[in-house]
Amino acid sequence: MSEVRIAAEPRTEFGKGAARRVRRAGKVPAVLYGHGTDPRHITLPGHELMLALKTPNVLLRVDGLSGSDNLALPKSVQRDPIKGFLEHVDLIVVKKGEKVNVEISVTLTGDIAPGGVLYQELVTVEVQTEATHIPEGVEHSVEGLEVGAHVTAGDLNLPRGTELVTDPEATVLTIAPERSDEEVEALETAEADVAAEAAEEAAEEAGQAEEHGGSGEGESSSSQ
């Protein structure tokens, strides 16, 4: 479990203008809450926070605030939809020994048997685990799996002390037969036909809208 120390400063100004000033200074507005405490509005150093958040479920030890044990997990991260920079972060306080629900990654290892194609349905699963010992993920070997095989969430070998929250019957992966060249060509043709029909319908709708718009303008002119 990765733990990162990060320095925080209390935040006393609020609103969009104040948030923009915080970001211009290279910091990120954040809220720290949980365990019955009042939400604390803080700012965090933008670069250090960005690096920390590259680790899934990173445990942050927030320094510079009152209280001796400010451990927190990122609960909600807001990013600029275009540029991707951090806009705001919600942090939830956790305690040693406390159980939390988190998403962990599913990594597949090995090679399947020839003649099959692997389709991974789930890349993460939800688990319950100790807040200070969150596993980085779970690995599952697909070595030698043949066509028709499938793996469910319940088949995953989770780390000790970690319990599955995702439905155990949820499909993680399946092994399907390889498509023949004829099947691939037929599929591509069908997809092209669907795209052409959609484009044709869109053009017809655009033409009808333009026609209605033009007739409306003509009626307006004649009424004058």
Same domain, 8 and 65: yes
The reply to whether 54 and 123 lie within a common domain is no
* Same-domain pairing of 107 and 173: yes
- Rounded to whole angstroms, how far apart are CA atoms 18 and 43? 11
Q: Are residues 172 and 184 in the same domain?
A: no
Does 91 lie in the same domain as 78?
yes
Domain boundary among 95, 115, 148: 95
Residue 77 and residue 109 in one domain? no
**Please, which pLDDT band fits residue 133 given cuts at 50, 70 and 90?**
confident
Mean pLDDT over 91-100 rounds to: 87
CATH code where residue 11 lies: 2.40.240.10
CB 187 within 8 A of CB 179: yes
Q: How many C-alpha atoms does 39 have within 13 Å on its Cβ side?
A: 9
pLDDT tens, 139-188? 999 999 999 999 999 999 998 889 999 999 999 999 999 877 776 777 77
Q: Choose the final residue of a domain: 60, 95, 130.
A: 95
- The 3-state DSSP class for residue 164 equals strand
Per-residue pLDDT tens over the stretch 2-43: 688 999 988 887 778 888 888 888 899 999 988 777 888 999
- Asked which of 95, 121, 152 is the last residue of a domain, the reply is 95
* pTM of this structure: 0.67
pLDDT band at 221 (very low <50, low <70, confident <90, very high): very low
Structure tokens at 128: 């319950």
What is the domain count for the chain?
3
- Same structural domain, 8 and 90: yes
Residues 116 and 151 in one domain: yes
Angle at 208 between CA 202 and CA 209, to 5 degrees: 90
CATH number at residue 154: 2.170.120.20
> Both 20 and 69 in a single domain?
yes
Q: Which residues contact 117 (CB under 8 A, 6 or more apart)?
A: 175, 176, 177, 178, 179
Q: In the structure encoding, which two tokens stand for residue 158, read together?
A: 């989770």
- Does residue 89 sit in the same domain as residue 104? no
Q: What is the DSSP letter of 148?
A: T
Residues 83, 128 within the same domain: no
224: which 2 tokens? 């004058």
Same domain, 58 and 132: no
Amino acid identity of residue 52, one-letter, is: A
Q: Which of 89, 99, 115 is nearest to 23 (CA)?
A: 89
Q: Domain range for residue 52?
A: 3-95
Question: Could you tell me the pLDDT band of residue 212, with boundaries at 50, 70 and 90?
Answer: low
